[in-house]
Structure 1
Amino acid sequence: MKMFNVASRRRAALLVLITGTLSACQPGPVTDVGQIQITKVASNTLIEASAYEIEQQFTGNIRSGNTTAIGFELAGKINQLAVDSGNSVKQGQLLAQLDTSLLLAEKQELEASLAQNSADLDLAKSTLNRSLELKKQGYTSEQTLDELKGQLNSLKAARQRLRASIAANQLRIEKSTLIAPFDGVIAKRNNNLGEVVALGSPLFTLIQLNNPQAIIGVPVNIAQALNDGQKLPLRVNDTNYSATVAGIGAEVNPVTRTVPVRFTLPTDAPVINGELAYLNYGKRIEQSGYWIPLSSLTDGLRGLWNIYVLVEEEKGQYRIERRDIEILYTRGEQAYITGAVRNNEMYVTHGLHKLVVGEVVTLNTDVASR
């Protein structure tokens, strides 16, 4: 019984070994190997252009045609302030006035002196006339007549001097009243009521209305290309205006190395002194090249840039070639290039980091070229 069990175990082990060997000899499942996947790329065609437009932007400030610091021509105490900062004024409107008490007293004194001079002058004329009558009778000497004539002439000169003093006094009284030289807005008031102001001290800053201008510095070569009356686009506070060149400076700013150009804006332009103004200037450069998206550029050697050009191998398949190019100008997401490329060649527009030179690709018609 023991021997039978040993024999049974040996037959079972042999059966397992044979079964495993036969299973190993059977062919495995067949793997379905498909075609090799070829990368699809987005592409576009190079279209040659004969020139390109350079767009440059320069910054300046808005300034009214007249921004004036106005004040009295005389020193004195402020007796009246008729306006304040932020007020709109009309030409000829009263702005402020000085205390004229001393000037009025001086005027009365001068008028009294003139009245006395007139009385002395009348007396001198009468005395001279009587002396001339007495001279005919031989009662008056020539010396006396000469003295009377001299006195009369002196009084006449004094009268002219007094009249000139009265006119000067009246002019000082008039200049003690400050009036607006033009329509505008009071931007700033520098003194208070009752203060004593010095000769020529500015009391107000007056900004003229309806005469907005912009002062913008530009390079010398651009300033030389501009002409008086030329229209150019100007932007202030996100609003575009058609500005007119009103004057071109004749001196280069030693700090910015630019020439100041003065532009006039429409009279109804709602701009404020000191606002930033932006000049957009376009210039045409005559040089052939190609516009391509920045996404189609990749770094090259020796400071150059490259693009991937598609060279057709067979129908529907293209081989990638690297071409050296030079960037002449960029604008937004576009670059204007020249180099080892030809008109109507196809190139890869984006996704260059996934590709290698010499790789065979196909065109991805589902992706719009840019």
Structure 2
Amino acid sequence: MTIFTAKSLARVLLWSSLSLAASGCQQEESTSAPDSEHFPKVSSQRLIRSTNYDTEQVFTGSIRAGNTTAIGFELAGKIKHLAVDSGNHVKQGDLLAQLDTSLLEAEKRELQASLAQNRADRELAQSTLKRSQALKQQGYASAQQLDELKGQLSSLQAAEQRLRAAIEANALRIAKSTLVAPFDGIIAKRNNNLGEVVALGAPLFTLIQHNNPQATVGVPVGLAQSLQDSQQLTLTVKETPYLATVAGIGAEVNPVTRTVPVRLTLPTDAKVINGELAYLHYNKTVDTAGFWVPISSLTDGLRGLWNLYVLVEQQPDQYLIERRDIEILYTRGDQAFIQGAISEDERFVTQGLHKVVVGERVMLNTQVATR
């Protein structure tokens, strides 16, 4: 039987306490320090600095031919003949319509008869004057008679000029009773039917010019001031791009849209129709440094800012998630150009932000391509 002294008993108890403390520490370390393989894996990219970014602005306008004219007769009258209808292609000088000229033809005959009568009266007056001058030399005619005959002849000559002017005006009205195309184009609309009486100047057809397509687009004042005549810009109609030329820049701001109208000329072979929507694409380079990141890597922040989760390396293959405030300067598709508390070559989380929290330790997902 072993007999313990007080000194040896104290030594045994001390060694037992140290052994229990050591085993407890080892157990606590084993439970508090998780295996790094159990850290969540995230996909990431490196921040690459850009000194500028390109912006594309799109402005909406409409197509309108260089000449879209509502044409009609300069006279009132009844429509006698319609040569074309809506949708017809016409050439310059082609017959479009005619008015009934029966009354004008009767007026023409009346004027011609009056002119013939005037001619006969003038010939008689000339003969009478000639005889009176011979009698005057013989003393059988007075000066008063000669003066009266000369005045009568002058009046007849003036009446002849008036009749000839009336005949010319009549011929002009007859000519204007025939409507012809002022330029090559397409009849877009016919407003009247055969036999109708049209008022003076009433539009009978709407004619759209061929091979002169144009677009009018409203742009901000600043952009309008930066454009120049003959500058070429990209214009899209029905998803078809055209290289358009600036033909004119307005000098007044639209009070409703607060934009300045810009007129652009499209290629002559552009397949466009009056009234179609046209989209003006304007590219501009902004000299501001920043970083392109996927929009999916951003989360809402405070006071109008956004957040980016940045990975700070703690140990090899182990990273700590930090939240950085950033500002979005421009977006294009699924990418955003940002500035903020970030630096070049830092890594950031690109996807799965809802699966991680700030301050969490993570590992890189090597199966996802990084740059």
Give your verdict on TM over 0.5.
yes
Q: Cα deviation per residue 1:104-145 (whole Å; 9 max; x = unaligned)?
A: 000000000000000000000111011111111111101000
Partner of 2:236: 235
Aligned-pair distance for 1:284?
Answer: 1.6
Q: SS at the partner of 2:204?
A: strand
Matches of 2:147 and 2:324, distance apart in 1: 114
Matches of 1:361 and 1:302, distance apart in 2: 28
CA contact (8 A) 2:79 2:194 kept: yes
Question: Runs ≥4 in structure 1, deviation > 3 angstroms?
Answer: 33-36
Partner of 1:176: 177
Q: Which amino acid aligns with 2:275?
A: G
Q: Cα deviation per residue 1:229-285 (whole Å; 9 max; x = unaligned)?
A: 111111001111111111111111111111111111110111110111011111221
Whether 1:124 and 2:133 are equivalent positions in the alignment is no
Partner of 1:265: 266
Partner of 1:98: 99
Matches of 1:268 and 1:155, distance apart in 2: 61
CA contact (8 A) 1:324 1:339 kept: yes
Q: Cα deviation per residue 1:200-226 (whole Å; 9 max; x = unaligned)?
A: 000000000111111111111111111
* Root-mean-square deviation (Å): 1.3
Q: Percent identity?
A: 72
Matches of 1:302 and 1:281, distance apart in 2: 31
Matches of 2:370 and 2:133, distance apart in 1: 118
Matches for 1:298-313 after TM superposition, within 5 Å: 298-313=299-314
Aligned-pair distance for 1:345?
Answer: 1.0
Matches for 1:89-238 after TM superposition, within 5 Å: 89-238=90-239
Partner of 2:26: none
What TM-score do the two structures reach when normalised by structure 1? 0.90
Q: Which amino acid aligns with 1:129?
A: K
Q: Which amino acid aligns with 2:97?
A: A
CA contact (8 A) 2:77 2:198 kept: yes
For structure 1, which segment, 313-322 or 102-111, has the greater mean C-alpha deviation from structure 2 after superposition? 313-322
Matches of 2:140 and 2:329, distance apart in 1: 112
Matches of 1:301 and 1:234, distance apart in 2: 40
Matches of 1:246 and 1:356, distance apart in 2: 57
Matches of 2:248 and 2:308, distance apart in 1: 46
Partner of 2:8: none
Q: Which amino acid aligns with 2:35?
A: Q
CA contact (8 A) 1:349 1:369 kept: no
Partner of 1:275: 276
Partner of 2:35: 35
Unaligned runs of 5+ in 2: 1-30
CA contact (8 A) 2:100 2:177 kept: yes
Whether 1:343 and 2:344 are equivalent positions in the alignment is yes
Matches of 1:295 and 1:202, distance apart in 2: 59
Q: SS at the partner of 2:165?
A: helix
User: How many residues align structurally?
Assistant: 339
Q: Which amino acid aligns with 1:76?
A: G
CA contact (8 A) 2:46 2:370 kept: no
Matches of 2:301 and 2:370, distance apart in 1: 23
Matches of 1:178 and 1:302, distance apart in 2: 69
Aligned-pair distance for 1:167?
Answer: 0.1
Aligned-pair distance for 1:35?
Answer: 3.3
For structure 1, which segment, 345-354 or 187-196, has the greater mean C-alpha deviation from structure 2 after superposition? 345-354
Matches for 1:355-370 after TM superposition, within 5 Å: 355-369=356-370
Q: SS at the partner of 1:311?
A: strand
Matches of 1:237 and 1:326, distance apart in 2: 35
Q: Cα deviation per residue 1:288-334 (whole Å; 9 max; x = unaligned)?
A: 11110001101112221110111111111111111010111111111
Q: SS at the partner of 1:194?
A: coil
Aligned-pair distance for 1:369?
Answer: 4.4
Partner of 1:85: 86
Matches of 1:71 and 1:369, distance apart in 2: 70
Q: SS at the partner of 2:258?
A: coil
Matches of 2:304 and 2:239, distance apart in 1: 38
Q: SS at the partner of 1:240?
A: strand
Matches for 1:13-32 after TM superposition, within 5 Å: none
Partner of 2:20: none
Matches of 1:109 and 1:260, distance apart in 2: 55
Matches of 2:219 and 2:274, distance apart in 1: 20
Matches of 1:170 and 1:56, distance apart in 2: 58
Aligned-pair distance for 1:228?
Answer: 0.6
Unaligned runs of 5+ in 1: 1-32
Q: Which amino acid aligns with 1:295?
A: S
Matches of 1:299 and 1:67, distance apart in 2: 52
CA contact (8 A) 1:48 1:290 kept: yes
Q: SS at the partner of 2:279?
A: strand
Matches of 1:270 and 1:353, distance apart in 2: 50
Aligned-pair distance for 1:368?
Answer: 2.9
Partner of 2:76: 75
